[in-house]
Amino acid sequence: MTNAQKLLEEGERLLNEFDFEGAYKKFTKAIKAQETPEAFFGRAEAALGMPEVDADNIIQDYEKAIEMQDDPFYRQSVASFCVEMGKFEKAENHYRKAAEMDPENRANYLSEFAVGYRYKAPIMMQQYLADGGEDIILRKAMGYMLEAMNIDREKARELLN
């Protein structure tokens, strides 16, 4: 077992124990020893428990892991984080790519985005709500949910009437 592998294992153990700072340090050392997608992904996951780590740095670590090993799970993780940060376009791109890569779970990715967008967008875009923004948000979220269920708008109208 290489030093980088040991550091990865230690980082995973610390992450499972919710020692985010300790895990973050181990993953950082693992990256210095050998850059791997697992190390970048692990560091991003550890950083979620560390408010002092900048959101853009977390996204960079996730995307570095994806660059090295494109994986639907990595994409779903960064997409979910992007929703939380209000980076909806980036989130949508990652969810769509995950759905493309893993068509068996396509509905899960799209519905997760629909629900996340529905509940996070009004918080992130409060200044637009008075001007009909909430309807736009609901329409967009509903569109993703219909897409996840593979139902077009006409079929949805028919089913709802």
For the chain, domains (ranges, CATH) are: 1-69 (1.25.40.10), 88-161 (no CATH)
Q: What is the pLDDT of residue 129?
A: 59
- Distance in angstroms (rounded) separating the CA atoms of residues 119 and 116: 5
Beta strands in 4-153 (DSSP E): none
Q: pTM for the whole thing? A: 0.88
Query: What is the pLDDT tens value at each position of the chain, 161 positions in all?
Result: 688 899 999 999 999 999 999 999 999 999 999 999 999 999 999 999 999 999 999 999 999 999 999 999 999 999 999 999 999 999 999 999 999 999 999 999 999 999 998 998 877 776 655 666 677 888 888 888 888 898 888 888 888 88
Collect all residues with Cβ–Cβ distance below 8 Å to 63 and sequence separation of at least 6.
78
Q: What is the pLDDT of residue 158?
A: 87
- Which single residue is written with the structure tokens 């969810």? 95
Long-range residue pairs from 1-6, CB within 8 A, at least 24 positions apart, any chain: 2/33, 2/34, 3/33, 4/30, 4/33, 4/34, 4/36, 4/39
Q: Can you read off the two tokens belonging to residue 116?
A: 């996340």
